[in-house]
Copies of this chain bind each other. A is one copy, B any other.
């Protein structure tokens, strides 16, 4: 009897191939460990310059790993030969800010004026935290990371504006410094936390009621650590409400050929 192949045995291209042939349509968390995963935002060229500016001005939340030329679906730097129109498990299609479709491939929506942005993702640093023996609670609990709209406003750019969205991971007090140190070393995956121990400083009232994702347990000797989150970009795109926007479905990321230790931005 053959056991099901677990992600730990796959490399990035194998994961992308499973997306392309339709056999993978679920989240990519934990797949192809050690490979950098990325958020995907696809926008018409008419608003792409302003969106790039938004990312440039909010680099902790929106670290730009690669941008493609209008009409190009191959991220030549992150994964030569890949096609962002079919190599992710699932997509969200927005029209004027409203989610209208959640397809597993987006060729039918493709246009020659579409520009693809690949942005850093916290999955990369979570792997680094785990390897260092630090807890990652939502992985332990088998749920999504809790995320909160903070009261901190992003720097705006054209129509793109909105709150800084943060993800929260509790850490034992004795391991907080190590968690800061490790994540500071991966600026392409949001870098160091933006806040620790004081949710009220970010306008967060109830840690058990996240705006996105799932609540997680916080032990008595633990502090909540808050990192800038890629959902910041998705919120800004939703609020800007361009005529068309396509993103990855939350948690269904683009798995790149880059390794976590590579210099990416």
Interface positions of A (Cβ within 8 A of B)? 45, 48-50, 52-53, 56-57, 64, 66-67, 69-70, 77, 115, 157-158, 265
Task: Find out whether the CB atom of A49 lies under 8 angstroms from the CB atom of B56.
Answer: no
Q: Is the CB of A50 within 8 A of B69?
A: yes
Complex: chain B residue closest to A158, CB-CB: B69
Residues of B near A66 (CB, < 8 A) are 56
Complex: how many Å from CA A178 to CA B185? Answer: 24
| 13 chain-A/chain-B pairs, Cβ below 8 angstroms | A45-B49, A48-B49, A49-B49, A49-B70, A52-B52, A52-B67, A53-B67, A53-B69, A56-B66, A56-B67, A57-B77, A69-B158, A265-B265
The closest CB in chain B to the CB of A48 belongs to B49
Looking at the assembled complex, report how far the CB atom of A155 sits from the nearest CB atom of chain B, in whole angstroms. 8
How far apart sit A108 and B70, CA to CA, in the bound complex (Å)? 33
Shortest distance between the CB of A188 and any CB in chain B (Å): 12
Compute how far the CA of A66 lies from the CA of B56 in the bound complex, rounded to whole angstroms.
8
A63 to chain B, nearest CB (A): 11
Chain B residues within an 8 Å CB radius of A69: 50, 53, 157-158
Residues of B within 8 A of A52 (CB): 49, 52, 67
Q: Which residues of B contact A45 (CB under 8 A)?
A: 49
In the bound complex, do residue A115 and residue B49 qualify as a contact, i.e. CB atoms below 8 Å apart?
yes
Residues of B within 8 A of A77 (CB): 57
